[in-house]
């Protein structure tokens, strides 16, 4: 039976630690709970916010609607063949728990995505990624419920229209579906991605060579790097990388490189180069900046932080100042990766 609560604080449910309230709150523990919820006539027209781990959201005000907290658990191996293992995870499964499930069994493909905060249901919406790997590379399909009709639909890879930190669920189908489970295709034989960031250097420091490289070793290296660079939300409020890494033309990159020789760049396809937003923000002088309880992390300029009691509006205002500064200095527009509510 569903329990609808009123006036619930969202502070424990968002990693920024923003003190906002939900007018109504409900927890979903199984798919049938969603069908029950959608049949409650009192809430048919009520705005709904689907919440997973709250690790990629900035709450700028109280939510005058129904917050739907996804708690659907379970990881099940569906089938396997000579090359792949297919498994399904509930939308409420903690993402890192799923990665560790795969690492422990030697399933390859998710090791570079270790320690990304959040839940499985939110992962395809954002097409999460790290260290040269994106979710879409291990994605097979997902199931979701249409919020308006209650229809259950399976979305295959092409249906999701994945892009860089993007999917159809952030665009045309935004606020129209509740993702209930995701199916992944993992590899029995690993293809390692170790050239991005400091993975190779970290592996070398761990005494790992190509001869004894494993999915666990890559995962351990990624975890080490993330823990050394990114603040723990349990210690200081944040949502990880606040901005996307911008993609610019090769000509613009070459021009910037003349003025800023240390500017890093990663070719993504012909004529397009991805550059680190964190580098741009740091060069613009924002690293370690603080105004009241809103600030930029001292070790990673890509991360905006809540030092205690800041508001979402204050974080957003800081983000806009950073965007304006970077655009003026480099002529490069950076956009938020975090969802603004």
Active site residues: 165, 241, 337
The token pair that represents 119 in the structure block: 């839940």
Closest of 85, 115, 87 to residue 99, by C-alpha: 115
Q: What contacts 24+ positions apart, CB below 8 Å, involve 322-326? A: 322/243, 322/281, 322/284, 322/286, 322/296, 323/243, 325/284, 325/285, 325/286, 326/277, 326/280, 326/281, 326/284
Query: CA 191, CA 321: separation in Å to the nearest integer?
Result: 41
Neighbours of 96 (CB within 10 A): 19
Side-chain-side CA neighbours of residue 250 (13 Å)? 6
DSSP category for residue 257 = H
b/e 139-151 (16+ beta carbons within 10 angstroms → b): bbbbbbbebeeee
User: What burial class does residue 307 get, using C-beta atoms within 10 Å of its C-beta: 0-12 exposed, 13-18 middle, 19+ buried?
Assistant: middle
Closest of 177, 95, 157 to residue 130, by C-alpha: 95
3-class DSSP state for residue 93? coil
């Amino acid at each position: 039976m569903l329990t609808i609560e009123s006036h619930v604080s969202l502070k424990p449910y968002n990693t920024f630690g923003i003190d906002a309230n939900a007018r109504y709150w409900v927890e979903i523990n199984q798919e049938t709970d969603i069908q029950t919820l959608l049949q409650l006539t009192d809430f048919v027209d009520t705005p709904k916010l689907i919440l997973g781990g709250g690790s990629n959201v900035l709450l700028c005000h109280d939510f005058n609607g129904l917050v739907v907290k996804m708690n659907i658990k379970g990881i099940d191996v569906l089938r396997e063949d000579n090359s792949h293992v297919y498994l399904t995870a509930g939308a409420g499964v903690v993402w890192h728990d799923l990665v560790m499930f795969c690492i422990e069994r030697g399933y390859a493909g998710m090791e570079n995505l270790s320690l990304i905060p959040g839940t499985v249901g939110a992962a395809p919406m954002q097409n999460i990624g790290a260290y040269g790997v994106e979710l879409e590379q291990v994605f097979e399909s997902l199931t979701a419920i249409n919020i308006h009709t209650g229809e259950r639909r399976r979305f295959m890879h092409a249906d999701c229209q994945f892009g860089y930190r993007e999917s159809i669920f952030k665009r045309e189908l935004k606020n129209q579906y509740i993702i209930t489970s995701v199916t992944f295709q993992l590899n029995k034989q690993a293809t390692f991605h170790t050239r991005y960031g400091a993975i190779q250097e970290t592996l070398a420091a761990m005494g790992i060579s190509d001869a004894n490289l494993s999915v666990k070793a890559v995962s351990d290296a990624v975890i080490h790097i993330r823990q050394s660079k990114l603040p723990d939300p349990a210690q200081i409020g944040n949502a990880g990388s606040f901005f996307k890494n911008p993609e610019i033309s090769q000509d613009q990159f070459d021009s910037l490189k003349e003025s800023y020789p240390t500017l890093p760049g990663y070719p993504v396809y012909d004529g397009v180069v991805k550059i680190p937003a964190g580098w741009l923000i740091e060069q613009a002088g924002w690293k370690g900046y603080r105004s009241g309880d809103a600030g930029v992390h001292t070790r990673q300029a890509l991360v905006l932080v809540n030092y205690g009691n800041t508001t979402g509006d204050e974080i957003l205002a800081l983000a806009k100042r950073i965007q304006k500064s970077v655009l003026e200095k480099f002529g490069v527009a950076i956009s938020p990766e975090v969802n603004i509510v």
